[in-house]
Amino acid sequence: MRVVLVATRNPLNIGAAARAMSNFGFNQLRLVGPYEPSFREARSAAGAADLLRGAKAYVSVAEAIADCSLVVGTTSLGSRKPKHALRSLEQSVIKIREQLRFSRVALLFGSEKRGLSNDDLSYCDQLLYIPTHEEHSSMNLGQSVAICLYELIRDDSGGKGTECQDQNLQRVTAAKLELLTSVLADILRECGYLKSGGSSEETRRLVRRMRLNERDAETWLGVLRQVSWKLRSNQHL
């Protein structure tokens, strides 16, 4: 499990998240563009100083999730309409636990002020929310991390999890999906479907909704590269 904090503003919240991770046995903390570079000295990371010092910082969400095969974003949504599968925390942990048996999962948390942006959400395969009182749905970052990780380790099944039915059909990594998204977006721009320089958010969501495994992703990459080559060849005729 990779816990990914995106654009976190308060070092104390980062420290609290690290402490929660240590409490529940998780140690892979990643940060995307943290607001305060001094976060590694946060006093709130009591007992988790080593985990915090070992946290990895990234420039973009794409880099932080590149080695993960399932990306889950946390959100309260607010007035936004979901463009992904939206599940409660209790529902989401079933899929997360299953995926963790054979590949890496990224759990994304947004900034304290705005949460995850629409662009951040476009990298997610699904979204989860923590059921809260309707009049006060926003939660403290450290508390959110603690609640999610506690639910993940809480065992309701007597230790019996769901195994992947076919280990040879493992889900593709986020890095491969982003490559596929890039190739497809280039083709859509070449044929005029997307405006030049247009956003790739919808294309990224489309690719992720396909829920490809590694073998199918390679096949689609081969197909799209052939289409791209053909389009460029016709332009020179």
Residue-wise pLDDT tens digits, 167-221: 445 678 899 899 999 989 888 888 888 776 666 788 888 888 888 888 888 888 8
Rg (CA), the chain: 19
Q: Residue 200 and residue 208: Cα distance in Å, rounded? A: 12
Farthest CA pair distance, the chain: 67
**DSSP H or E stretch at residue 72:** strand 70-74
Contact of 116 with 83, CB cutoff 8 Å: no
More confident residue, 80 or 24: 24
More confident residue, 171 or 81: 171
The beta strands (E) that lie in 157-208 are given as none
More confident residue, 44 or 86: 86
Q: Residue 91 and residue 198: Cα distance in Å, rounded? A: 34
pLDDT value of residue 32: 95
pLDDT value of residue 128: 93
pLDDT value of residue 143: 92
| Residue 159 pLDDT greater than 70, yes or no | no
pLDDT value of residue 5: 96
Ranges 26-30, 47-51, 86-90, 194-198, most confident: 26-30
pLDDT value of residue 216: 86
Single pTM value for the model: 0.75
Q: Residue 156 and residue 75: Cα distance in Å, rounded? A: 25
Mean pLDDT for 25-46 is 81
Phi/psi region, residue 81 (left: phi>0; alpha: psi -120 to 50; beta: rest), is beta
| Residue 142 pLDDT greater than 80, yes or no | yes
Q: How confident is the model at residue 165 (pLDDT cuts 50, 70, 90)?
A: very low
Report the amino acid identity of residue 169. Answer: L
C-alpha 193: how far from chain center: 27
| Residue 234 pLDDT greater than 50, yes or no | yes
Q: Residue 164 and residue 27: Cα distance in Å, rounded? A: 24
pLDDT value of residue 232: 78
| Residue 160 pLDDT greater than 50, yes or no | no
Mean pLDDT for 62-87 is 83
> Beta-carbon neighbour count of residue 26 at 10 Å?
20
